[in-house]
Amino acid sequence: MSAEEKLKAMGLTLPPTPKPLANYVPFRRAGDIVFLSGQGPRYPDGSFAKGKVGRDVTVEQAYEHAKMVGLGLLSAAKAAAGSLDKVEMLKLLGMVNAVPEFTQQPQVINGCSDLFVAVLGENGRHARSAVGMGSLPENITVEIEAILRVLP
């Protein structure tokens, strides 16, 4: 089953590749390596999920926000590679806008990681960092960036 068919079976669709909010591009390709710019959780109307995890937002809600970011990253990955079936995720950096005492960053970023593995199979497995931040742009709950390889 192709990655696109897996998405459809999960009842998910890729959003349009998000437009940058400042002076950068959604992705940059160097040979077969692609760097995906950091993205935040966007609802279909274009608005962002906002708030501090551990105060305004639960771990479960933030997990879903990370999953939303994952869909946006997959959209950018498809634009860069031409097909999700040519994508091999290498590394994620997940940032969580959380209260200082929050320690469940890995559980939040699993929303994105779990999506990648469900859609891409073994090609979705990746190295990862999940860190807490004092703030993120626009007060978004999570921001995730990725590095991938385009397969031949």
DSSP letter for each residue of 63-124? HHHHHHHHHHHHHHHHHHHSSGGGEEEEEEEEEEEB-TT---HHHHHHHHHHHHHHHHGGGG
Average pLDDT over residues 8-30: 92
What would the two tokens of residue 62 be?
């933030």
148 has pLDDT over 90 = yes
Q: Mean pLDDT across the chain, nearest whole number? A: 96
Q: In the prediction, which pLDDT does 47 show?
A: 95
Residue 38 binned pLDDT confidence (cut-offs 50, 70, 90): very high
Average pLDDT over residues 96-101: 98
Q: In the prediction, which pLDDT does 18 show?
A: 80
Which residues touch 60 (CB under 8 Å, ≥6 apart)? none
Q: In the prediction, which pLDDT does 114 show?
A: 98
Specify the pTM: 0.96
As a whole number of angstroms, the longest Cα–Cα distance in the chain is 45
In 3-state terms, what secondary structure has residue 137?
helix
CA distance 39 to 57: 18
Residue 20 binned pLDDT confidence (cut-offs 50, 70, 90): confident
What is the percentage of the chain residues whose pLDDT exceeds 70?
100
Q: Which amino acid is at 63?
A: Y
